[in-house]
Amino acid sequence: MDALGRDDMLDYFTRAESFRSNTAAGQRHSGRTVASLFYEPSTRTRLSFESAALRLGAQTLGFSDPAASSAAKGETLIDTIRTVERYADLIVLRHPAEGAARLAAQVASVPIVNAGDGGHEHPTQTLFDLYTIHRQRGSLDGLTLGLTGDLKYGRTVHSLALAAAAFGVTLIFIAPEPLQVPAHLRGRLEGMAIVRTAAAVDEVISELDALYVTRVQTERMDPAEAAALGTPRSLGPADLRKAKDDLLVLHPLPRVTEIDPMVDEDPRAWYFEQLADGVVMRMAILDALLAGATPLPLGAGAKLPPPEDPPWRESPDASGVTCANPKCVTRLERGVMMRTISHGGARSCAYCDWCVE
């Protein structure tokens, strides 16, 4: 989310809106190719990106199961990216390692879209989550957003909190302590947004303009951590009695047990309705990036220019530092050097944002 400021996001909302009625969009990118490399399961993100690419006239290719790719033979992410950039004009990447998209972007000559990097971030989901709220409420200014479910491992939550903070949205993190937002994210939100916490939805529901419900990410926990949590309480029709009439209940989906299907009939339940916003937003994202990307030469013997800022070149502030996050791409990908950046004075890993000092 760091790459986008408030004005950039508003610009994306306008671009997305323009695709709702743009019947000429189907010719815009004919002859271009979009690759989707999904190393983790997905229904909506992959299919909506592919739908968006096809609606823009582009072709799609890729894999949805890394077991059917050379990752199963031990190929590194970097080598896979250096291959697929020869086949496609843009790569949509979902990967379990935190910081994988940033690493891929450092080596690729084509644009990389982060479609989820482990438990770190999911910025394109955020763009359309905010777009949906903006569209339904007319503005984001002064709103109060409750986020509940898995705030620790939920990448959609991390990106949404950062982006909503840029609009001055009041954030209420609603979760028991073990599922609260990571310390490094709390640190980054300091001074950016009014942040409160609550242990349960009923404590705050009457104040909320939007409630963002998420699934507990058991696949990112060790079995003991998951077992200690028990089954989270599900949001039911009774919980909405005290809510505002124009509350928006959102969920990135898939839903497991955290929202009772009875809630789906409530006019405030907007998680299926918003899916079309995901398609037009992803059309806007692909359109903007494809328009700025020069197709790579396919001529025999063409050698791509080396990456401008290769991840294995040692930067002065990172020598000898190892990221403390075992799920960071610098720990999982062979031969990648860790780097640090400054978030408001605190040093963090440039890939996964964990604090390092």
Q: Minimal distance in Å, beta carbon 155 to ligand NCD?
A: 5
Task: Provide φ and ψ at 8, rounded to 5°.
Answer: -60, -40
Pairing of strands 340-343, 346-349: antiparallel
Does 347 engage in binding with ligand NCD (CB under 6 A)? no
Q: Is 114 helix (H, G, I), strand (E, B) or coil?
A: strand
Find the binding residues for ligand NCD in span 162-221 (CB under 6 A): 214-215
Q: Is 278 helix (H, G, I), strand (E, B) or coil?
A: helix
Segment contacting ligand NCD (CB under 6 A): 70-78, 250-258, 287-295, 348-356? 250-258
Cβ proximity to ligand NCD: between 250 and 356 the closer is: 250
Contact 316, 85 (CB under 8 A): no
Task: Give the CA distances from residue 224 to residues 150, 178, 246, in Å, rounded to whole numbers and listed in that order.
Answer: 16, 12, 39
Cβ proximity to ligand NCD: between 122 and 188 the closer is: 122
Cβ proximity to ligand NCD: between 18 and 218 the closer is: 218
Among 33, 125, 132, 348, binds ligand NCD (CB under 6 A): 125
Among 2, 11, 18, 44, binds ligand NCD (CB under 6 A): 44
Task: Give the CA distances from residue 258 to residues 37, 172, 343, in Å, rounded to whole numbers and listed in that order.
Answer: 29, 18, 33
Task: Provide φ and ψ at 181, rounded to 5°.
Answer: -60, 145
Among 32, 55, 102, 122, binds ligand NCD (CB under 6 A): 122
DSSP, residue by residue, 161-184: HHHHHHTT-EEEEES-GGGSPPHH
Does 48 engage in binding with ligand NCD (CB under 6 A)? no
Does 126 engage in binding with ligand NCD (CB under 6 A)? no
Among 97, 130, 179, 253, binds ligand NCD (CB under 6 A): 253
Cβ proximity to ligand NCD: between 92 and 332 the closer is: 92
Peptide bond into 254 cis (omega under 30): yes
Cβ proximity to ligand NCD: between 85 and 277 the closer is: 277
Cβ proximity to ligand NCD: between 281 and 356 the closer is: 281
Closest CA to 319 of 337, 346, 336: 337
Cβ proximity to ligand NCD: between 154 and 311 the closer is: 154
Does 116 engage in binding with ligand NCD (CB under 6 A)? yes
Does 156 engage in binding with ligand NCD (CB under 6 A)? yes
Cβ proximity to ligand NCD: between 164 and 338 the closer is: 164
Cβ proximity to ligand NCD: between 122 and 152 the closer is: 122
Does 340 engage in binding with ligand NCD (CB under 6 A)? no
Does 114 engage in binding with ligand NCD (CB under 6 A)? no
Q: Minimal distance in Å, beta carbon 125 to ligand NCD?
A: 5
Size of the site for ligand NCD (CB under 6 A): 12
Q: Minimal distance in Å, beta carbon 234 to ligand NCD?
A: 15
Closest CA to 118 of 310, 336, 312, 332: 332
Q: Which residues contact 67 (CB under 8 A, 6 or more apart)?
A: none
Q: Which residues contact 139 (CB under 8 A, 6 or more apart)?
A: none
Contact 333, 351 (CB under 8 A): no
* Letter string b/e over residues 57-68, b meaning 16 or more CB atoms within 10 A of that residue's CB: ebbbebbbebee
Measured distance CA(175)–CA(180) in Å, rounded: 6
Does 155 engage in binding with ligand NCD (CB under 6 A)? yes
Site string for ligand NCD, 266-305 (x = CB under 6 A): ----------------------------------------
Q: Which residues lie near ligand NCD (CB under 6 A)? A: 44-45, 116, 122, 125, 155-156, 214-215, 252-254
